Chain A
Amino acid sequence: MSKTILIVEDNDLNMSLFDEILKIDGYNTIHSIDGNDVLEIARDRLPDLIVMDIQLPGRSGLDLAKELKSDGKLKHIPIIAVTAFVMRGDENRILEAGCDGYLAKPITVPVFLDMVAKHLH
C-alpha cells in the first residue's frame, strides 16, 4: 500500500509542484493550504509523513510542528520543512521546533525525494 503524505503549502504553484513530484514517485497526497486544519487532518488521516511550509497564512509552521510533536498519537509522523527562510539561524530554529528535516527553497527534486524516502523508512 502506498504511503500517504500531507502537503502543507499556501502557494498554489508550489503545492501543485510538490503534489506532482510526490505522485510521480507513487505517493498518495492530501493537502492543507493554510495550516489551520493540519492537526485535524493529521488525526483523521494519520499521514505517513508531512511536507510543510513554514510561513503559512493561518499559523506558523513552527507552532504546528511543536503541536504535532507534543501529540502522543501524531508525534511519530516525520515532518519535513520546505521553506524559503534561508537566513542564518533559520535551519536551527526549524529543527528545534520539532521538524525532522529541513530543505531550502528552491528545492532540488532528487534531494527532496531522497529526504522523503529516508524519513519514511
Chain B
Amino acid sequence: MSTGNNRAIFALVAIMTVVGLVIGGAAILVLYDTAFEERREDLRQLAQSQARLIEAVAHYDEVHSRDYPGGSFRATFAQIEDAHERYKGFEETGEFVMARREGDEIVFLLRHHHGGLDIPKPVALDSPHAEPMRRALDGKSGTVVGLDFEGVTVLAAYEPVAVLNLGIVAKIDVAEIREPFVTAGAMVFAIGFAIIAAGAALFFRIGNPMVRRIVESEDRLRRSVLDAPIPIIMHAEGGEIMMVSNKWTELTGYSPGEIPSIHDWTEKAYGADKEHMRELIGRLYKIEEPYEHEAHIVTAWGEKRTWDVRTAPLGILPDGRRFVISMAMDVTERQAAEAAMMEAMEEAEKANLAKSEFLASMSHELRTPLNAVLGFAQVLQYDPENPLSPAQNTHVESILEGGSYLLKLVNDILDLAKIESDQASILLTKVAAREVVSDCVSLMAPLGEKRNIKIVDRLGSGLSTHIRTDRTRLKQVMINLLSNAVKFNRDGGTVTVDGRETDDGFLRISVTDTGIGLAKEDAGRAFQMFHRVGANSLVAREGTGMGLTVSRVLVERMAGRIGVESELGVGSAFWVELPLATNENILIWSDNLRVGVDAIDKDHQIIINLLNKLTHRFVGDADLDKVIEDMEDYTRYHFQREEAIMEVCEYPILNEHRVRHRKLNAEVSDLANKWRNDRGPETLHVLCRFLRKWWMGHILKVDTEIAQYADGKEEKIQEALEKLELANRKRPR
C-alpha cells in the first residue's frame, strides 16, 4: 500500500481525535460555566443574607444591648462570632470574612473558613489584594473574580453591612470550582484518546487488510490498464474519460490532459468522421454486450491509423452514469498487408489465367495435327478394301504407338509445367486424410478389378486425421501412387493403403503393392524426371515416367516428404508425409507469403525450406550443423540482398532494417552456438521457434512493404543484385 494511503488514514484518526476532544471540551466548558454561575449566585445569597441578618442583629443590639461591655457593637460581634463558631462552613476553600476600614487599612475582624475562626492581618487599602472587601467597604454589593487578602484568585460575593460600617465577603477559590472540571476534562481526554487509539488499532487490524485488498486490487487494475500493451480508455456517459492507458497516449500522441472527455477525443482524432463517431460513441453507453467497431483515427502528428475497438460495459457509477471500457488494436499494418496480399493474389490470378490460356491453346494446336497423324494411321488399318501387308501393319502400329506416347507426353509436360509455375494453385486447407484416400481408392478400384488386384484401404476405415494441405493436389498424388501400385502389381495382387502419425507431426500415408519391386538404384531415382522404372517395353507403354516427378514436386510444395521402400520381386511401399493440421512447426510456402519481389520471395522460400529441415529433424547431427550453418549464411546473404534492393528502391526506413537484420543475425548466431554447446532437443527447439516467429513476422509484416517501392524497378534490382554477387565473389569468405 502506498504511503499516500497511510497518510490519509492517519489524517482520519487525527480528525476523529480533534473532533472528539472539541466536543468533550465544549461540553465540559458549558457545564463549568453553569456550575460557576450557580456558585456565584450561592455566594451572593450567602453574603446578602448574612449582611441583612447582621444588620438586623445590630439594630436590635443598638436598642437592647447598649449596656453590653464594649457597647452594642461588641454585643453584635460576639453573637456573630458565636454563630460562626457553630457554623461548619462551606466547601474546601469557602470563607466568610468580615472587615472594617481603619485609616488606610482594611482591618479584618473575622474570618471563617474550613479550619475554624481566625483574624487575618490587615491589608493596605491601595494594595491589589482583598479586592472584594474593598468593594464591600466602598458600600458596593455584587460578585467579582479577584484576588483575596492572601493574593489567591477567588470568586467572591461582597456586601456592605450599613449599620456597623462593616464589609462582608463570602468567597471560594476559583481553583476549587475548576478542579473537578479539570479532572473531568483530563479524563475525557484520556478516555477519548484511549477509545480512538483502540478504534484505530481495531480498524487497522480488521479493516485495513480489507481496505488494503480493495486498494491493492484497484491499484492493480489501474496499473494493468495504464501499462497494458494495448490502447485502453475508460469513459462514462456524458463523455468523461476516467482513465487512459499509456499505450493510448503513446500511439495517438494525445495525453490524458488533452482529452479529458470523449468529446475532446472525437474532435481531435476523428476529423471528418467525428459526427458519425460521436453518434456511435453515444450508443456505446447503452450496450449490454461487448461491441466492436472500426475507427479511423488521426494521431497528434497527423498520421492516419486504423483501430479495431472493442467496448465492454463496466456497470453504473455511484452517480448513476453508465461507464465502459474501450480497448483498441492497431490494425493499420495488418490491413495494409491484407490488402497487399489480396492484390498479390489477384496478380497471380491474372498471370495464372494467361498461363492457362497459353496451355489450352498449345494443347489445342498440338492435338489438331496429331488427330490427322493418328487418324490416317488408323484409316490405313481400317480400310477393308486396301488391306495392309503384315509388315506394313507393324509399321502402322509403331506410328500409332509413337503418336500416343507423344500425346501422353504432351499432356504430362503441360501438367508439370502448370504445377511448377503455378504456386497459386496450392490452396491450403484442413483436410480429412481419410476422406481423400477413400475417394481415391474407390476411383482406382475398377482399374484393379480388371486384373483382379484388390485395393485394401486401412486408413479410410481407421484414423481420422486432419492434415494441412491442398485437397486436389493430395488427390492427384494419391491417384498417381495408386495407379502405379496397380500398374506394377502382379495379376491377383494386393495394394494396401495405410496411415500413421509420425513423432514429428506428420501423417505418413503409405501405398504398398505386391508387384515387381525396385532395384536399389532405381528406388533412389524413382522421383527423377523421365526416369522409368526398369526401362522395359511394358513400362514404356504405360507411362511417360513423369507421374512420380509430378507427385514429388507437389508434395514438396506442400512441405511434405515422399519416398519409397522396395524389394525387388516382393513389392514397393511408396509413402508421402504431410504436416498434420495441428503441426504449427512446419511453415508451408503458399501464395499468401509472397512479397512481390522475386529475389526476396525466392530467398524466403529457401529459408522456409531450411527452417522446415531443421524442424523435421530427419537429418543426423552432422547434417543438422550444416543446415544451421546454411541457415545462418543464407540469412546473412538474404539480408545483404534485401538491403541492396531496399537501397536502389529508396526504401525510407532502410537503416531501421539494417539494425533489425544485425540484431537477428546476432541472435541467431547466439542461439546456434548455444545449440552447438548443448545439443539438446530443447535448445534446438528454442532456435527453431525463434526463427519461425521472426521469419513469419518479417515476411508477413515487414517485407510486404518493400513491394510498393520495388514496383517498376526490376532492372535496377537485377543490376544491384549482380553487383552484390560480384562483390561477394571478390571478397574471400
Name the residue on B nearest A85 (C-beta): B364
Contacts of B360 in A (CB 8 A): 85, 87
Q: How far is the CA of A106 from the CA of B407 in the complex (A)?
A: 9
B379 A11 Cβ-Cβ under 8 A? no
Interface string of A87-121 (1 = CB under 8 A from B): 10000000000000000111111100000000000
User: Chain B nearest CB: distance from A26 CB in Å?
Assistant: 11
B374 at the interface (CB under 8 A from A): yes
A109 B368 Cβ-Cβ under 8 A? no
Q: Identify the A interface with B (CB < 8 A).
A: 11, 13-14, 17, 20-21, 24, 55, 84-87, 104-110
B203 at the interface (CB under 8 A from A): no
B371 at the interface (CB under 8 A from A): yes
CB < 8 Å neighbour of A105 from B356, B359, B368, B378? B368
Contacts of B368 in A (CB 8 A): 11, 14, 84, 105
Interface string of B360-375 (1 = CB under 8 A from A): 1001111111111111
Contacts of A107 in B (CB 8 A): 371, 374-375
Contacts of A110 in B (CB 8 A): 382
B379 A17 Cβ-Cβ under 8 A? yes
Name the residue on B nearest A104 (C-beta): B367
Interface string of B315-346 (1 = CB under 8 A from A): 00000000000000000000000000000000
CB < 8 Å neighbour of B369 from A13, A85, A104? A13
| Chain B interface, number of residues (Cβ within 8 angstroms) | 25
Q: How far is the CA of A108 from the CA of B385 in the complex (A)?
A: 20
Which of B365, B372, B403, B407: most chain A Cβ within 10 A? B372
B379 A106 Cβ-Cβ under 8 A? no
Return 11 A-B CB contacts under 8 Å, by A number. A14-B372, A17-B371, A17-B375, A17-B379, A20-B379, A21-B379, A84-B368, A87-B363, A106-B407, A108-B378, A109-B379
Q: How far is the CA of A21 from the CA of B384 in the complex (A)?
A: 11
Name the residue on A nearest B386 (C-beta): A24
Contacts of B373 in A (CB 8 A): 106
Which are the 10 A-B pairs with shortest beta-carbon distances? A84-B367, A13-B372, A105-B371, A109-B378, A106-B371, A17-B375, A106-B374, A84-B364, A105-B367, A106-B370
- Which residues in chain B, 259-290, are within 8 Å of chain A measured between CB atoms? none
Contacts of B82 in A (CB 8 A): none
B contacts with A: majority SS: helix
Q: How far is the CA of A11 from the CA of B372 in the complex (A)?
A: 9
A84 B363 Cβ-Cβ under 8 A? yes
Contacts of A106 in B (CB 8 A): 367, 370-371, 373-375, 403, 407
Q: How far is the CA of A108 from the CA of B382 in the complex (A)?
A: 11
Contacts of A84 in B (CB 8 A): 363-368, 371
Q: How far is the CA of A108 from the CA of B370 in the complex (A)?
A: 12
Q: How far is the CA of A10 from the CA of B375 in the complex (A)?
A: 16
Q: How far is the CA of A14 from the CA of B385 in the complex (A)?
A: 21
Known: A24-B382, A105-B368. A14 touches B375 (CB 8 A): yes
CB < 8 Å neighbour of B383 from A13, A17, A24, A105? A24
Q: How far is the CA of A108 from the CA of B374 in the complex (A)?
A: 8
Q: Identify the B interface with A (CB < 8 A).
A: 356, 359-360, 363-376, 378-379, 382-385, 403, 407
Q: How far is the CA of A17 from the CA of B368 in the complex (A)?
A: 12
Q: How far is the CA of A87 from the CA of B364 in the complex (A)?
A: 9
Q: How far is the CA of A55 from the CA of B403 in the complex (A)?
A: 23
B379 A24 Cβ-Cβ under 8 A? yes
Contacts of B407 in A (CB 8 A): 106
Contacts of B375 in A (CB 8 A): 14, 17, 21, 106-107, 109
Name the residue on A nearest B359 (C-beta): A87
Contacts of A85 in B (CB 8 A): 360, 364
User: Chain B nearest CB: distance from A33 CB in Å?
Assistant: 14
Contacts of B365 in A (CB 8 A): 84
Which of A11, A14, A105, A107: most chain B Cβ within 10 A? A105
Q: How far is the CA of A13 from the CA of B356 in the complex (A)?
A: 27
User: Chain A nearest CB: distance from B402 CB in Å?
Assistant: 12
Q: How far is the CA of A14 from the CA of B382 in the complex (A)?
A: 16
Q: How far is the CA of A17 from the CA of B385 in the complex (A)?
A: 16
Name the residue on B nearest A84 (C-beta): B367
Q: How far is the CA of A104 from the CA of B403 in the complex (A)?
A: 15
Q: How far is the CA of A35 from the CA of B368 in the complex (A)?
A: 17
User: Chain A nearest CB: distance from B691 CB in Å?
Assistant: 40
A55 B364 Cβ-Cβ under 8 A? yes
19 other A-B residue contacts (CB within 8 Å) besides A24-B384, A107-B371? A13-B369, A13-B376, A14-B375, A17-B371, A24-B379, A24-B382, A84-B363, A84-B365, A84-B368, A85-B360, A86-B363, A87-B363, A104-B367, A106-B371, A106-B373, A106-B374, A106-B403, A106-B407, A109-B375
Contacts of B363 in A (CB 8 A): 84, 86-87
User: Chain A nearest CB: distance from B455 CB in Å?
Assistant: 26
Contacts of B372 in A (CB 8 A): 11, 13-14, 17
Q: How far is the CA of A88 from the CA of B359 in the complex (A)?
A: 12
User: Chain B nearest CB: distance from A45 CB in Å?
Assistant: 25
Contacts of B403 in A (CB 8 A): 106
Q: How far is the CA of A107 from the CA of B403 in the complex (A)?
A: 12
User: Chain B nearest CB: distance from A7 CB in Å?
Assistant: 13
B371 A14 Cβ-Cβ under 8 A? yes
Contacts of B374 in A (CB 8 A): 106-107
Q: How far is the CA of A110 from the CA of B383 in the complex (A)?
A: 12
Contacts of B364 in A (CB 8 A): 55, 84-86
Which of B369, B374, B375, B376: most chain A Cβ within 10 A? B375
Name the residue on A nearest B384 (C-beta): A24
User: Chain B nearest CB: distance from A15 CB in Å?
Assistant: 10
Contacts of A87 in B (CB 8 A): 356, 359-360, 363
Contacts of B369 in A (CB 8 A): 13
Name the residue on A nearest B356 (C-beta): A87
Which of B363, B368, B369, B385: most chain A Cβ within 10 A? B368
Contacts of B382 in A (CB 8 A): 21, 24, 109-110
Q: How far is the CA of A24 from the CA of B386 in the complex (A)?
A: 11
Contacts of B366 in A (CB 8 A): 84
Contacts of B359 in A (CB 8 A): 87
User: Chain A nearest CB: distance from B660 CB in Å?
Assistant: 46
User: Chain B nearest CB: distance from A93 CB in Å?
Assistant: 12
Q: How far is the CA of A55 from the CA of B360 in the complex (A)?
A: 12
Q: How far is the CA of A84 from the CA of B368 in the complex (A)?
A: 6
User: Chain A nearest CB: distance from B224 CB in Å?
Assistant: 57
Name the residue on B nearest A11 (C-beta): B368
Contacts of B370 in A (CB 8 A): 105-106
User: Chain A nearest CB: distance from B473 CB in Å?
Assistant: 15
Q: How far is the CA of A110 from the CA of B379 in the complex (A)?
A: 10
Contacts of A24 in B (CB 8 A): 379, 382-385
Contacts of A105 in B (CB 8 A): 367-368, 370-371
Q: How far is the CA of A13 from the CA of B378 in the complex (A)?
A: 14
Q: How far is the CA of A63 from the CA of B659 in the complex (A)?
A: 64
Contacts of B376 in A (CB 8 A): 13, 17, 20
Q: How far is the CA of A86 from the CA of B368 in the complex (A)?
A: 11
Q: How far is the CA of A108 from the CA of B403 in the complex (A)?
A: 12
Which of A11, A17, A85, A107: most chain B Cβ within 10 A? A17
Contacts of B384 in A (CB 8 A): 24
Name the residue on A nearest B360 (C-beta): A87
User: Chain B nearest CB: distance from A10 CB in Å?
Assistant: 9
Contacts of B383 in A (CB 8 A): 24
User: Chain B nearest CB: distance from A105 CB in Å?
Assistant: 4
Which of A11, A84, A104: most chain B Cβ within 10 A? A84
User: Chain A nearest CB: distance from B399 CB in Å?
Assistant: 12
B367 A86 Cβ-Cβ under 8 A? yes
Q: How far is the CA of A46 from the CA of B330 in the complex (A)?
A: 73
Name the residue on B nearest A10 (C-beta): B368
Q: How far is the CA of A43 from the CA of B293 in the complex (A)?
A: 67
Name the residue on A nearest B374 (C-beta): A106
